[in-house]
Amino acid sequence: MSGPLILAVESSCDETGIAVIEGGRRILANVVASQVAMHAASGGIVPEVAARAHLRWVVPVLDAACADAGIAWSDLDAVAVTYGPGLAGSLLVGLNFAKALAWVHGLPFVGVNHLEGHVYAAWLRDPDEADRPEPVFPLVALVVSGGHTFLVEMRDHLTYELLGSTVDDAAGEAFDKVGRLLGLGYPGGPAIGRAAESATACDIAFPRAWLPGTYDFSFSGLKTAARRIVETARTEAGIAGDPTAPLPGAVVAELAWGFQASVVDVLATKTIRAAREAGARSIVVGGGVAANTALRARLAADADALGIPLIVPRPGLCTDNGAMIGAAGARRFAAGERAALDLDARPSLPLATRR
């Protein structure tokens, strides 16, 4: 395979990721140092702690990525980096590091929107993987992460039309908050997914905010309902007065299942409707919540019924990583885009505007 060889740096949140990507698709190296265990102790991300952890890990991660890729600096065509959206302190570490690399090695420099990276993860393939189908335009992409939840339509590379987005919490944020309510620790998303596997139904109705006539999402009502449901379950279990007492495992599993079913139902229903109404030829899903087994299974079944190919990266490429930044960066590089070395971090950088 040919095409540009891109070194990509991601540090927008709590993963330090550096990857080497060939031709916008093939992963030659993809090293991720996760801070999850560190943030679990505080029950969430403390921005300054996250920034300092990037500072600690960025060089070892680069060394590991270079060793994995087995390339020389002279082989590289460009350095790509996430410049937003994300936590300012976290972004600054990766951005400044990538600038220094581009400057020292005289390489072109490309700024990438983190959310575009989540979309472009759908183009990635592992080195030993047989060529996998590429997403075809027009497509509808669902991005579901810890900070964002939205649907975009793409009629071509690097162009996005916003179909709808969350009006309050992101889906991942709701998973994390409800995970905490259920005593599952941080991050709640993977923990809820695992807990829900021990249940097959839930007797309690978790609400679904359909926001009819829009592709928008809302998860704050569901979060409030979940709090009330958990309080009732604690009263019924006779532990309402003891905040440290855990709910019985079977109850946690059932409530995790019910909550997850609500989120999955709304995300899948709106994505499939958007794909049908847009006349999409493929459906792409990305972001940490796309690692969720129930969401993947439901979307696969619904897309199959609709006859539209669904492309969801493997779970490790749904959560934050450098490879996805390399995939998007390669497209921008091929389109002739170059960023100046005074590029600033943009914590609230948007991806798309509403039509």
The count of residues interacting with Zn ion (CB under 5 A) is 2
* Calpha distance 351→145 (Å, rounded): 14
Can you tell me which of 145, 165, 292, 321 binds Zn ion, judged by CB under 5 A? 145
Q: How far is the CB of 175 from ligand KG4 (least distance, A)?
A: 4
Assign residue 70 a region: left if phi > 0, alpha if psi is -120 to 50, beta otherwise? left
The two three-digit tokens of residue 216, written as one number: 């928008």
Residues between 293 and 332 with contacts to Zn ion, criterion CB under 5 A: 320
Of 149 and 282, the one with the shorter C-beta distance to ligand KG4 is: 149
The two three-digit tokens of residue 72, written as one number: 């020389």
Q: How far is the CB of 234 from ligand KG4 (least distance, A)?
A: 23
Could you list the residues that contact ligand KG4 (CB under 6 A)? 13, 145-147, 172, 175-176, 187-190, 193, 287-289, 291-292, 319-320
Q: Where are the alpha helices (DSSP H) in the chain?
A: 36-40, 47-69, 88-105, 114-120, 171-181, 188-196, 220-236, 249-278, 293-306, 315-318, 322-334
In DSSP terms, which residues pair with 79 in a beta bridge? Answer: 7, 109
Q: How far is the CB of 226 from ligand KG4 (least distance, A)?
A: 14
User: 94 contacts which partner out of ligand KG4, Zn ion, none, CB within 5 to 8 A by kind?
Assistant: none
User: 291 contacts which partner out of Zn ion, ligand KG4, none, CB within 5 to 8 A by kind?
Assistant: ligand KG4
* Calpha distance 37→298 (Å, rounded): 30
User: 190 contacts which partner out of Zn ion, ligand KG4, none, CB within 5 to 8 A by kind?
Assistant: ligand KG4
**Which of helix, strand or coil describes residue 7?**
strand
Q: How far is the CB of 121 from ligand KG4 (least distance, A)?
A: 10
Of 12 and 218, the one with the shorter C-beta distance to Zn ion is: 12
Q: Does 169 interact with Zn ion (rule: CB under 5 A)? A: no
Q: What type of residue sits at position 222?
A: L
Of 174 and 278, the one with the shorter C-beta distance to ligand KG4 is: 174
Length of the chain, in residues: 355
Of 84 and 187, the one with the shorter C-beta distance to ligand KG4 is: 187
Candidates 63-71, 137-145, 152-160, 219-227: pick the segment binding Zn ion (CB under 5 A): 137-145
Q: How far is the CB of 152 from ligand KG4 (least distance, A)?
A: 15
Closest by CA to 194, choosing from 268, 301, 318, 294, is 294
* Calpha distance 216→3 (Å, rounded): 37
Under the rule (CB under 5 A), what is the footprint of Zn ion?
Answer: 145, 320
